[in-house]
């Protein structure tokens, strides 16, 4: 049965100004200023439009599964996965690397120091499977 999705995005990307239904990253930054000096209240960004200074704040040490999944989505978007393909990719990441935090983390994919442990991290197997997923999506897109 085809999925019916109602386009409810009503926020233009603060970087590219496009108003569309691609997955977005929403922030609660009260006054983000773009390169042209324009101020944006609570800006939203496409995954591949997220400014470097905000991406930097996600860190790069794989210490948090939600950060990790978002970084993977950013990477996929920059390599050409958008729209529903990106949504499906994000969902598959979530399904495989369940980061419903605090008691529901998948012990097979995340190394845990204990419930609620902020030091939870992504192991090599998780990274390998995420890379496989991404390659699979790129392959599908390449055949479209």
Sites of contact with other proteins (CB under 8 A): 8-11, 21, 23-30, 42, 44, 47, 54, 57-59, 64, 66-67, 69-70, 73, 86-87, 90-91, 93-94, 98-102, 104, 116-119
Closest CB to other proteins among residues 19, 136: 19
Rounded Cα–Cα distance for residues 119 and 98 (Å): 16
Cα–Cα distance between 32 and 46 in angstroms, integer? 15
Of the two residues 38 and 57, which places its CB atom closer to other proteins in the complex?
57
Q: What angle do CA 87, 90, 91 make, to 5 degrees?
A: 85
Nearest residue (CB) to other proteins, 103 versus 142: 103
Backbone angles phi and psi of 129, in degrees to 5: -70, -35
| Cα dihedral 43, 38, 80, 132 in deg (nearest 10) | -50
**Least distance in Å: CB of 92 to other proteins?**
10
Instruction: Output the smallest distance, CB 141 to other proteins, in A.
Output: 17
């Amino acid at each position: 049965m085809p999925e019916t999705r109602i386009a409810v995005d009503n926020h233009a990307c603060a970087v590219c100004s496009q108003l569309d239904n691609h997955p977005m990253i929403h922030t609660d930054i009260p006054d983000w200023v773009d390169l042209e000096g324009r101020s944006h209240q609570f800006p939203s960004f496409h995954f591949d439009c997220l400014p470097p200074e905000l991406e930097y704040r996600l860190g790069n040490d794989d210490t948090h599964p939600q950060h990790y999944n978002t970084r993977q989505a950013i990477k996929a978007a920059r390599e050409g996965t958008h729209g529903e393909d990106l949504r499906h990719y994000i969902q598959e990441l979530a399904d495989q690397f369940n980061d419903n935090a605090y008691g529901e983390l998948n012990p097979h994919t995340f190394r845990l120091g204990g419930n609620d442990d902020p030091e939870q991290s992504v192991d090599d197997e998780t990274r390998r499977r995420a890379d496989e997923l991404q390659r699979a999506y790129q392959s599908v897109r390449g055949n479209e």
